[in-house]
Every structure is written in C-alpha cells, then in structure tokens.
C-alpha cells in the first residue's frame, strides 16, 4: 500500500513540476555531480544495430522519447519528467520559482535488439533524483524497462513498460506486481526531415 501511495505521490510531483516549469521557466544545466554513464548496445547473433531504427522515437503517452544513434547508442531521452536529457552530460537540473528545483542523475542504459524477432529492449536508469517543491521533498532512484516488437515498416514500436521506483522513506517496489501489470505504450518514429520541411513551408507561407 505504501508503494502504491508513493507512486501516486511521484506522479503528483511530476505533474506539478511540469506545471511550474511551464509557468516559472526552467534553467537547463547539468547537475553539480555530473557523470558520463555511457551505455551498452547488444545485438543478438553478433550483428549490428539496424540503421533504419536510428532517429527519434516518441511514445503515445507519459512523454517518453528516445534518440537512437546509428550504432544503437541512446544520445538523448525524455523521461516522464518532461525534459530531454543529454546522456553524455550525465543529468539535468531544473530550477523554478521560490527555490523549487529538481535534480536528475543518469545511470548506465542498456539497448538490446534481436533481428530475428524484431524485438527491441531498453533499460533506462536514473541513479538519483530529488524534487524540492512547496508540497515537500521527494528523492530516490528509478529503473525503467521497455520491451516490444518493431513493426515490419520500422515505424512503430509496441512496448511493455515497467517502472521500478525506490522512494526515500517508502517500501521498495514489488517486482511481482509490476511485472504482472506493464503499461502499454506505442512509440512512433518521427520523420525529422518531414517536420523540418513542413516548418520551412509554414514560414514561407
């Protein structure tokens, strides 16, 4: 019960954080304790990561997004916190009004791809996060797992998302409950060339 309440508390903080970010304006700068966690890319059969999967993938909900490089590395991702994080910078700090702030420190990520099954699995780790807001302070760490199949046309990724959050002062997550209840997400590959073309056309009009 404590874990369920903690998860609800986290989501409330995230919604509130996004709200103050929009209203008060946030400063994007690396946290003081920066790191360069890097990551691991594993392709079954000792193959190479498909170049066709490189690019930006955005989820249909919860604001998740990933930018995969041609070799499968993740150079950027957007967490449920709502801000893009450059992996090489090791984290992000957001500052709002009245001494409100949030700090996120990135841990190592893992990308696994099975060409035969067309299955893409990703693990994202926040080694540490801290949110200081009027309603209180929340800190902890979270591991997020994404597992699913890439469509034949390489445009969508049907995902089971499982999130394991360790919140300071709350019971640890119950893996059995989380494993049995994944959140269904659909990631879509963004055509950046098309978006740029449409933006240029809009300006000329």
Sequential pLDDT tens for the chain (205 residues)? 333 334 434 444 444 444 333 333 334 443 443 344 579 999 999 899 999 999 999 999 999 999 999 999 999 999 987 678 899 888 888 887 777 888 899 999 999 999 999 999 999 999 999 988 788 888 999 999 999 999 999 999 999 999 999 998 888 999 999 999 999 999 999 986 655 554 455 555 5
Query: At 51, is the secondary structure helix, strand, or coil?
Result: helix
202 membership: H or E segment, kind and range: helix 192-204
Q: How far apart are CA 26 and CA 205, in angstroms?
A: 32
At CA 11, angle to CA 187 and CA 66, rounded to 5? 25
The pTM of this model reads 0.78
Specify whether the CB–CB gap between 124 and 109 falls below 8 A.
yes
The reported pLDDT for the residue numbered 94 is: 80
The reported pLDDT for the residue numbered 150 is: 98
Specify whether the CB–CB gap between 141 and 168 falls below 8 A.
no
The reported pLDDT for the residue numbered 89 is: 87
The reported pLDDT for the residue numbered 201 is: 53
The reported pLDDT for the residue numbered 197 is: 52
Beta-ladder partners of 103:
93, 130
The tally of domains found in the chain comes to: 1
Domain that holds residue 31: 2-204
Q: Quick one: tokens of 114? A: 């099975």
């Amino acid at each position: 019960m404590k874990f369920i309440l903690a998860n609800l508390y986290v989501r409330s903080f995230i919604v509130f954080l996004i709200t103050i970010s929009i209203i008060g304006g946030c400063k994007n700068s690396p946290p003081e304790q920066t790191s360069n966690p890097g990551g691991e890319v594993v392709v079954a059969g000792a193959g190479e990561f498909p170049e066709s999967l490189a690019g930006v993938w955005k989820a249909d909900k919860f604001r998740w997004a990933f930018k995969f490089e041609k070799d499968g590395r993740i150079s950027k991702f957007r967490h449920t916190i709502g801000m893009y994080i450059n992996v090489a910078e090791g984290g992000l700090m957001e500052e709002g009004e009245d001494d409100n702030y949030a700090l996120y420190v990135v841990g190592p990520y893992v990308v696994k791809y099975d060409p035969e099954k067309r299955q893409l699995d990703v693990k994202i780790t926040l080694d540490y996060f801290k949110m200081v807001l009027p309603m209180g302070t929340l800190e902890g760490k979270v591991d997020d797992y994404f597992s699913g199949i890439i469509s034949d046309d390489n445009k969508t990724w049907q995902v089971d998302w499982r999130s394991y959050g360790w919140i300071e002062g709350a019971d640890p997550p119950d893996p059995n409950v989380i494993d049995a209840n994944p959140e269904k997400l659909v990631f879509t590959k963004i055509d950046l060339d098309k978006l740029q073309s449409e933006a240029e056309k809009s300006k000329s009009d």
